Amino acid sequence: MHAELQIDNQICFRLYTAARLVTQAYTPMLTELGITYPQYLVLMVLWEKDCQPVNDIAHRLLLETNTVTPLLQRMEKLGIVSRMKGKEDKRQHIVSLTEKGKQMEEKAMELIPTGMGKQLTTCPLKLEDYQLLAQELDAIINTLKK
């Protein structure tokens, strides 16, 4: 077995696994909110700035529009966002939060920080480790995004 191909030596497998497990850790709180993790990402983008075209949301999340469009359609069915044709550019669909979508921010604020805190109490990483991790991940992300 080539050492270069050993799974334990792979950063990618660790990223793949850590991303899945952390997303799973969000799931109980998100289920209480009635949404999925990618839907939560969209909500965070809209809480930061409401009324954005599909493209801006996709760029913010580094996703393709063919991922985001069906996501938004599901969120519209849930009554969380609404979509309207753009006025000046009729190709655009402007996505905005409904009242329900806006109110979910407070609920998320109650549930998620404490919920994640509980699950990570036994994690040996300290604040500066998380900051370092964030920097390292940003370096990889910035290198690989086009």
Which residues are bridge partners to 94 per DSSP? 53, 84
Site string for DNA, 19-58 (x = CB under 7 A): -x--xx--x--------xxxx-------------xxxx-x
Who's near 9: CB < 8 A, 6+ residues apart?
A: 3
Taking a C-beta distance cutoff of 8 angstroms, is the pair 86, 94 a contact? yes
CB of 81 to DNA, least distance (A): 11
Query: Where along the sequence are the contacts to its own copies (CB under 8 A)?
Result: 1-2, 4-7, 10-26, 37, 41, 44-45, 47-48, 60-62, 105, 108-109, 112-113, 119-120, 122-125, 129-130, 132-134, 136-141, 143-145
Contact status: 60 vs DNA (CB under 7 A): no
Residue 69 interacts, among DNA, its own copies, none and using kind-specific CB cut-offs from 5 to 8 Å, with DNA
* Element holding 3 (H helix, E strand): none
Q: Is residue 52 helix, strand or coil?
A: strand
* Element holding 37 (H helix, E strand): helix 37-48
CB closer to its own copies out of 88 and 124: 124
Pairing between strand 81-85 and 93-97?
Answer: antiparallel
CB of 89 to DNA, least distance (A): 5
Structure tokens at 107: 């609920």
φ, ψ at 36 (rounded to 5°)? -105, 175
Contact footprint for DNA (CB under 7 A) = 16, 20, 23-24, 27, 36-39, 53-56, 58, 63-67, 69-74, 83, 86, 88-94
